[in-house]
Amino acid sequence: MNANKRIKIIQGDITKLKTEAIVNAANRTLLGGGGVDGAIHRAAGPGLLEECKLLGGCSTGESKITRGYKLPCKFVIHTVGPVWRGGNQNEEKLLESCYKNSLQLAALYEIKSVAFPSVSTGAYGFPFNEASIIAIKSAHDFLKTNSGFKEIIFVLFSDSDYQNFMNIYQNIDSLD
């Protein structure tokens, strides 16, 4: 199926999703934090933290996988987005790596459905529009070469982020 038809955009709380895997916007310790990371750990319960403690942290732009514990999803893919430092610290490439590595890890585990939050655009301060373009292009590129992958869902927490993301998605060029 056409890559565009396998991209979904919704507004809501990612911890409620029954998709096979959800992605967590974590930090390098993988030991929890605020934002979506805090929400995922709260909803998953203490088993998630216990498994995360065994992972030895995660570098920026990389991803690691755990089970979902009390979450409705089966797996959590933890990725560490870059902190925005003005744009000259390789932030764009690192954010692209978060999406690519998370999707490759999903494929390795034979996961066919993944939901992403807007990585790095909260506490880490990455400009929303640029981050959204990177997210959409990375997802599209992955789907083009992974025809068996069912869907990539972008979950926007606030209504304004949802509206902005939809606008960007509808107006983005160079998706073939």
List contacts with ligand AR6 (CB under 6 A).
Answer: 13-15, 25-27, 33-37, 39, 81, 117-124, 155, 157-158, 161
Q: Is-catalytic flag, 173?
A: no
Distances in whole angstroms, Cα of residue 32 to Cα of each of 10, 40, 92: 24, 9, 24
Minimum distance, C-beta of residue 113 to ligand AR6, in the bound complex (Å): 16
Q: What number of CA atoms fall less than 13 Å from residue 76's CA on the CB side?
A: 32
Minimum distance, C-beta of residue 166 to ligand AR6, in the bound complex (Å): 14
Minimum distance, C-beta of residue 148 to ligand AR6, in the bound complex (Å): 26
Name which of 3 and 80 has its Cβ closer to ligand AR6: 80
Q: Which of 13, 37, 159, 176 does the annotation list as catalytic?
A: 37
E strand or H helix that includes residue 114: strand 113-116
Name, in order, each residue with C-beta under 8 angstroms of 99's C-beta and a sequence gap of 6 or more.
79, 116, 119, 134, 135, 138, 139, 142
Q: Give the per-residue SS3 of 13-72.
A: CHHHCCCCEEEEEECCCCCCCCHHHHHHHHHHCHHHHHHHHCCCCCCCCCEEEEECCCCC
Name which of 111 and 119 has its Cβ closer to ligand AR6: 119
Name which of 19 and 27 has its Cβ closer to ligand AR6: 27
Name which of 3 and 25 has its Cβ closer to ligand AR6: 25
Minimum distance, C-beta of residue 126 to ligand AR6, in the bound complex (Å): 7
Report, as residue numbers or ranges, the catalytic residues.
37
